[in-house]
A and B are shown apart, each in its own frame.
Chain A
Amino acid sequence: MKGLGSEKMMGESKPKPEKAKLMIDARGVTHEYSRRDAEGNVMGIIQAVDGVDLQVTPGEFVAVLGANGSGKSTLAKHINALLVPTEGTLYVDGKDTGNQENVLAIRQLAGMVFQNPDNQIVSNVVEEDVGFGPENIGVPSEKILERVEESLKSVGMYEYRKQSPNRLSGGQKQRVAIAGIMAMHPRCIVLDEATSMLDPSGRKNVLDTVRKLNREEGITVVLITHYMEEAVEADRIFVMRQGKVALSGTPREVFGKPEILEACRVELPDITKIGLGLRRAGLDIPKVVLTEEELLSCVTGSGAFPEKA
C-alpha cells in the first residue's frame, strides 16, 4: 500500500529483491513455433527455444553463439518482449515479460539492434530516426533533442545528424541504430548479428562503440554473433544448440571445450586454433589462447622463437 507511485512500473509481478539484481533472468524459457499448412492446420511444432535458464547481471557483456537455427534470435526477441515464452518466465530488470502492462517499460529498458541496417531505420534523416524511440515513449520535445544529441555523440555519429541514412555505410547505419536505442536510456542492448552484414572496419567500429557503452555507461550487452573474435572479449559466453544452452562460461572455459563446441557446430577463434596447432606441434603453449598478444608472449616466452631485437 505504501510506495504506490514508485512501484507502478513493476506491474503485478511480486517484486522479489533478488530478482531485481539481475538484468535478465530467464527461467525455463521455452518457445514453440507451430508450422501450419495452407489451410492453417498445425503440421508440426518446432521448439525454437527449449527450457533455457540464463542469468545476466547488470553491466555484464555476454555473447551468445550457436549454429543457424539454434534459437539465438528467438531467445533474443524474448528479452525485448517481442516474443513471450510459451512456457517458463523471463524477467528483465525484475519485470515479467509475460505481463502485457510491462511490455513498453521492458522495450525501453532493453533495446535491440537487428541484422539488416536498412530495415530498422524508420526515418530519412539520421537525427529524426534517433528521436523515434523517445517520441514513442512520450519524452517531452526539449528532452528528446538533448537525448538525440547525447546519444549521437556517444556513438560518434553527431556530425551526420542531418544526413540521409541512405548515404551512410553499413557500419554507420548500425551505429545510428544503436544511438536510436541509447536515446531511450536503456540499461541493456541486445545485438542480433548486428555486424554480420558489415565489412571488417564497419564491424570493428560497431563493436568498439558497443564496448565503450558497456564500459563507460554500464550498459548490459547481449551480443549474438557468428564471429568468434567478437565473443572472445565477452565476460561470459552462452552456446546454444537446438534451443538449449549447451555450454556457458567465460571465453576461456568455453573455448577450452572444442569437442562440445564441435557438436554445437561452433568454431574456435582463429588464434585459439593456431595455438592448438602449435601445441600439437610440440610447443609449450596452454590449451586456450584467446588473443594475439597472449599467443605472441607464449611463443616468445617458450623460447621457440628468438625474440626480435
Chain B
Amino acid sequence: MIRDITIGQYYSVDSTIHRLDPRVKILGTLAYMISLFTFRDFAGYAVAVLFFALVLALSKVPFSYAARGLKPIFILMAFTAFLNLFWTDGTVFFRVGALAVTWEGLYKMIYISLRLILLVLGSSLMTLTTTPNQLTDGLERIFGPLKVFRVPVHEMAMMMSIALRFIPILIEETNRIMKAQTARGADFESGNLLQRLRNMLPLLIPLFVSAIRRATDLALAMDARCYHGGAGRTKMYPLRYRVNDFVAYGCLVAYIVILRAVVWVCPW
C-alpha cells in the first residue's frame, strides 16, 4: 500500500507531454499551481479541471494512475475539509449536536479540497511525465543563474534526483523491515500515539542504517564513474527548446487568460 505513492515515479510512455522540455513542464506546473490560488469561483475550477483533463489526455497517463498520488494526502484532505466544514462562521443551515455547519463552511470545504486535489494531481502529472534526470536538468537550468551567487545548483539538483531514485527502494525496504519486525513480535498498529512512536524505533533504526549504507555505496559508485561535480559535465540529452515547447508556453498563457476572463465574467 505504501508502494502506491506515485510522486517521483515516471510513467513510461511516449506522448506529446512526455516529449516537452522539462523547463516547460516545471514552469507550467508552477504557474498552474499558483493560478489555483487566484480564485474561489466554481467557474474557475471548471476551467482548471478542464485544463488538467486536457493535459492528462495528451499525456496518455491513465487517470487511475495519476490519482494514486492522492491516497497519501487523503488524511490531510479529510482533516482540512472537516475543519473548514465546522469551523467557519456564517449562516447555519445544519446542526449536529454542538457542531454547526454553515453554508460558507460547506463552500470553503469544497473549494479547498478541490484546490488540494488539483495541486497534487498537477504536480504528480509533472513527475509522471518527466524522468527525474530531466526534472533535475530542468531545475538546474532554471536556477542556473543562481550559480553566480554561489548557490550549489548542480549539487542540489543531483541530490534531488538521487532522492527520487531511492524513494521506491527505501519504501520497499520499509515494508521488508516492517514484516521482519512484525514476525519478531513488533507491534506497529496498537497503543496510543506515544507508544506507537516508540514502537516505530525498531523500524526507523534499521532503515536509517540501511539508507546510510546505500548512500556510502552510491557515493563510491559515482566516484568510480568519474563523477566530480558539475564542472566539465556534458548531457546526453541537452535541453533545447523546440516548436512544441513554444506552443506549450502559448497554451499556458491561453489557459491563464481564459481562467481570468471566466472568473471575471462569471459571478459564481
Binding site for B on A (CB under 8 A): 77, 80, 82, 104, 107-108, 111-112, 114, 116, 118-125, 127-128, 131-141, 144-145, 148, 162-164, 166, 180-181, 184
| Complex CA distance for A121 and B169, rounded to whole angstroms | 12
A125 & B236 in contact (Cβ 8 Å cutoff): no
CA distance A104 to B168 in the complex (A): 32
Contact of A116 among B164, B217, B227 (CB under 8 A): B217
The A-contacting residues of B in range 169-184, CB under 8 angstroms, are: 169
Give Cα A114–Cα B216 distance, bound, in whole angstroms: 12
Pick the contact of A136: B131, B214, B233, B238 (CB < 8 A): B233
- A136 and B227 contact, CB distance less than 8 A: yes
Q: Is the CB of A120 within 8 A of B218?
A: yes
Partner of B133, one of A123, A166, A180: A123
Would you call B226 and A184 a contact (CB within 8 A)? yes
Q: For residues 234 through 268 of chain B, which have their beta carbon under 8 Å from a beta carbon of chain A?
A: 234-238
- B residues with CB within 8 A of A: 10, 12, 131-133, 161-162, 164-165, 168-169, 213-214, 217-218, 220-228, 232-238
Complex: A155 Cα to B16 Cα, angstroms: 31
Least CB separation from A118: chain B residue:
B169
B237 touches A180 (CB 8 A): no
User: Would A107 and B224 count as touching, CB distance under 8 A?
Assistant: yes
Which listed residue (B131, B162, B214) contacts A125, Cβ 8 A? Answer: B131
Q: Which residue of A lies closest to B132 (CB)?
A: A124
Q: Which residues of A contact B218 (CB under 8 A)?
A: 119-120, 122
A residues near B161, Cβ cutoff 8 Å: 122-124
> A118 to B214, Cβ gap below 8 A?
yes
CA gap between A107 and B42 in the complex, in Å: 59
Report the nearest A residue to B229, measured CB to CB.
Answer: A136
A124–B238 Cα gap in the complex (Å)?
A: 17
Given contacts A119-B213, A119-B217, A125-B131, 4 further A-B pairs with CB under 8 A are: A82-B220, A116-B214, A132-B227, A136-B233
Let me know if B227 and A123 touch, CB within 8 A: no
| Cβ contact within 8 Å between B10 and A164 | yes
User: Which chain A residue shows the least CB distance to B221?
Assistant: A120
Nearest-CB distance from A70 to chain B (Å)? 20
Cα(A148)–Cα(B235), bound, Å? 12
> Complex: how many Å from CA A43 to CA B104?
70
Question: Which 3 pairs of residues, A with B, have the shortest CB-CB distance?
Answer: A119-B217, A120-B221, A131-B236
- In the complex, the chain A residue whose C-beta lies closest to that of B166 is A118
CA distance A144 to B133 in the complex (A): 15
